[in-house]
Structure 1
Amino acid sequence: MDDARPLPSYLISRYQGWRATTFQDNKAWYRRLAELGQHPRAMIISCCDSRQHVTSIFGADEGEFFIHRNIAGLVPTYCPDGGNHGTSATVEYAVTALKVAHVIVIGHSNCGGVKGCHDMCSGKAPELLEKSSFVGRWMDILRPGYERITHLPEAERTRALEKEAVLISLENLMTFPFVKEAVEAEVLTLHGLWNDIGEGGLEHYDPAQKAFVAI
């Protein structure tokens, strides 16, 4: 592979600082994690957005969360058609191999992927309609959510769609037979969260109220 290059110097410097401090202070813990394998209690599905750092939000240590990130934190429907399903494979591994007790889907404010879906569905981003657009085809997962928010005032739609992304993903998770079976057996629970990046707020979906409620 001739196109790869050495790591940028600022990242090398940060790594060396981590190795000399955090790692050295917790060397026994890291070795234990390596030897005993991972046993996370929860899987988190979140957006790739660099501004959302779920381990910081929950103060999590290494080995605590099994984390999957993608554009807008979406989960597709169960469709074992032989395609490349990174998200579906991660869900399968978390539920059937790691036996996590919780799957948490967390969306966030000012999500670029969700805004792209809104613009695509409303005709403002024709480039995302192209078959060659990976982002556009991925955001097709959220089209049903867009249909649910079209009655709202324009100014409210994007934020509402961010929360619909969480609900669509939760609904799609239940189309996976092994997820449905685990939920019905009460060995797995699903959770939907929405994070306000600028204010540090966190809301969870309450099915009794059919709404996101501040934590």
Structure 2
Amino acid sequence: MDNAKPLPNYLVQRYHGWKATGYAENQSWYRRLASDGQHPRAMVISCCDSRVHVTSIFGADQGEFFIHRNIANLVPPYQPDGAQHGTSAAVEYAVRALKVAHLIVLGHSNCGGVQGCINMCQGKAPDLDAKDSFVGRWMDLLRPKYEVVADIADADEQQRQLEKHAVMTSLENLMTFPWIGEKVSAGELTLHGLWTDIGEGGLEYYNTEKELFMPV
């Protein structure tokens, strides 16, 4: 493998700074995490977007969250077809092996993946419509929900609503996994849908009784 290069210097400096402070001051804690294994209480499925920082939002320490990130925080439906499914594999490990008590889907404002879905549905993204676009084919998971927001005139509000539908789509698809449905019915697992406003620092949760997102 000839293409892997050393880390850029700024990352090397940051690592040494952390090793000399954050790690050195909590060495016993890190060694305990390493020896005892992980026992997270919750799994968080969030977007790859670099502006969404799950541990910062909840003030979480190492070992608290099992985190999986993908484009637009989407979960595909249960499909045991022998293909490679990264998100489904992460969910399976969290629920069946780690036995997390909470499964959280976290969407966010100004999501590029959701905007790409809108552009596809409006015929403005031929590159994403191409069969060889991994992003486009992934966003096909959300494409049916565009019809629900198609008539919203305000572009920003349209995107916000589709971002929230992405969260709901993932929650719906999670319930197609038989072992998730069983644990939810048995009271061993709870699902949560959240949406965060990056600029305002707001956080909303999906209220199933009112069928809308409300401030936390």
Task: State the TM bucket, normalised to the shorter chain.
Answer: over 0.9
Per-residue deviation, 1:152: 2.1
For the residues of structure 2 that align with 1:100 and 1:147, how far apart are their CA atoms?
A: 34
* Distance (whole Å) between structure 1 residues aligned to residue 163 and residue 22 of structure 2: 36
State how 1:65-84 maps to structure 2 within 5 Å: 65-84=65-84
2:117 aligned partner:
117
**Does structure 1 residue 170 correspond to structure 2 residue 171?**
yes
Partner of residue 44, structure 1: 44
Q: Distance in 2 between matches of 1:50 and 1:138?
A: 19
Deviates more, 1:60-69 or 1:150-159: 150-159
Match of 1:85 in 2: 85
3-state DSSP of counterpart to 1:190: strand
Partner of 1:147: 147
Partner amino acid, structure 1, of 2:4: A
3-state SS of paired residue (2:141): helix
Which residue identity is paired with 1:35?
S
Give 2:134's aligned residue: 134
Aligned-pair CA distance for 1:149: 1.3
Q: Deviations over 1:141-172 (max 9, x none)?
A: 00122122123224221111000000000000
For the residue of structure 2 that corresponds to 1:35, the secondary structure is helix
Give the 4+ runs in structure 1 shifted more than 6 A.
none
Amino acid at match of 1:205: Y
What do residues 127-150 of structure 1 show as CA deviations (whole Å, max 9, x unaligned)? Answer: 111110000000000012212212
| CA distance in structure 2 between the partners assigned to 1:62 and 1:116 by the alignment | 33
Question: Unpaired runs of 5+ in structure 2?
Answer: none
Q: 2:202 & 2:193 partners in 1: Cα distance?
A: 14
Structure 1 stretches lacking a partner, 5+ long:
none
**What RMSD in Å do the two structures reach over aligned CA positions?**
0.7
Q: Which amino acid aligns with 1:189?
A: T
Offset from partner CA, 1:186-207 (integer Å, 9 cap, x none): 1000000000000000000001
Cα distance in 2, alignment partners of residues 54 and 146 from structure 1: 27
Q: Counterpart of 2:56 in 1: which secondary structure?
A: helix
Give the aligned residue type for 2:58.
F
**For 1:180 and 1:23, how far apart are their aligned partners in 2?**
40
Letter matched to residue 172 of structure 1:
N
CA apart distance, 1:80 = 1.1
Which residue pairs with 1:197 in the alignment?
A: 198
Partners of 2:112 and 2:170 lie apart in 1 by 17
Aligned to 2:187: 186
Q: Return the letter of the residue paired with 1:10.
A: Y
Distance 1:57 1:110 in 2: 17
Between the aligned partners of 1:162 and 1:173, the Cα distance in structure 2 is 17
Residue 208, structure 1, aligned to residue 215, structure 2: no
Q: 1:96 maps to what in 2?
A: 96
TM-score (ref. length: structure 1): 0.98
Q: Give the share of equivalent positions with the same residue, in percent.
A: 68
CA distance in 2, matches of 1:18, 1:145: 43
Q: Does 2:107 correspond to 1:107?
A: yes
CA distance in 2 between counterparts of 1:126 and 1:214 reads 37
Determine the C-alpha separation between the residues in 1 that align with 2:149 and 2:202: 22
Measure the CA separation in 2 of the matches of 1:204 and 1:64: 20
Which amino acid in structure 2 is aligned with residue 62 of structure 1? Answer: Q
